[in-house]
Amino acid sequence: MIMEKQRLEIIEYGIRLLRTGLTNGTSGNLSMYDPETGYMAITPSGIGYEETRPEDIVIVTLDGERVDGERKPSSELDLHASLYRMKPHARAVVHAHSMACTTLACLREPIRPIHFLLPCFGMSEVPVAPYVTFGTRELADSVAKTIGDGDACLMANHGVICCGAGMAGAFGLLETCEWCAELQWRCMCAGRPAVLSDEEVQKAVARFAGYGQ
């Protein structure tokens, strides 16, 4: 079975997405990319995460040509493919309608650096891509034009998308975005959150470089 390791990882993290409450039902989608073959493994459209089997994961080229699998691939195939095209380090992409990120996305409000955790994950801000109908190439273009140097982007009135050098990294970034978005939303409910200055952001990033074992 081609891309078996990636298929199993997609299933594992799909279940984690559901069980950690970052998504519900069949919403959201996950993919992984193999630069050697140019193939992408992506979740099938409309199948529950806990019911997905390795053979349900669809293998496609970045142009959407099916290489292996009987299922219809996720409707956001173009969105995933465009991130692999523009981010050479990306090997995994996770898209979800997690509540706090989607709340800010509906307010069309970027996630701002009100806590040092966001810059420590490599982003001074998570921007909001203009609204476009889901599952279209135009949505992929909207995110590609907005995401910039970071690995995460909110999608207006829709949700959030993150990529990473591996699935653990992409998923961890999604969890961080969700935590920061919830913090910002809570602050916005109570008043006006104070945003860290560029100088403080840089100091936090420098400090983070020496963090951990």
Residue nearest to Zn ion (CB): 159
Taking the C-alpha atoms of residue 115 and residue 44, their distance in angstroms, rounded to an integer, is 36
Contact 173, 164 (CB under 8 A): yes
Total residues at the site for Zn ion (CB under 5 A)?
Answer: 1
Per the listing, tokens 């910039």 go with 148
> Looking at 12, 76, 125, 182, which residue is catalytic?
76
| Interacting residues with Zn ion between 151 and 190 (CB under 5 A) | 159
Supply the minimum distance, in Å, between the C-beta of residue 97 and Zn ion: 6
Report the residue number, 113 or 159, with the smaller CB distance to Zn ion.
159
Supply the minimum distance, in Å, between the C-beta of residue 141 and Zn ion: 16
Report the residue number, 44 or 159, with the smaller CB distance to Zn ion.
159
User: From the CB of residue 13, how many other CB atoms can be counted at a distance below 10 Å?
Assistant: 22
Q: Tokens for 121?
A: 């994950």
Annotation marks residue 51 as catalytic: no
Supply the minimum distance, in Å, between the C-beta of residue 134 and Zn ion: 5
Report the residue number, 23 or 124, with the smaller CB distance to Zn ion.
23
| Interacting residues with Zn ion between 189 and 208 (CB under 5 A) | none
Binding mask 117-156 for Zn ion (x = CB under 5 A): ----------------------------------------
The DSSP result for 13-79, as a single string, is HHHHHHHTTS--TT--EEEEEETTTTEEEEPBTT--TTT--GGGSEEEETT--EEE-SSPBPTTHHH
CA distance readout (Å), 7 to 40, 134, 189, 213? 10, 24, 40, 31
In angstroms and rounded to an integer, the radius of gyration of the C-alpha atoms of the chain is 17
Contact 49, 16 (CB under 8 A): no
Supply the minimum distance, in Å, between the C-beta of residue 100 and Zn ion: 15
Report the residue number, 29 or 124, with the smaller CB distance to Zn ion.
29
Catalytic residue numbers, as ranges: 76
Binding footprint of Zn ion on the chain (CB under 5 A): 159
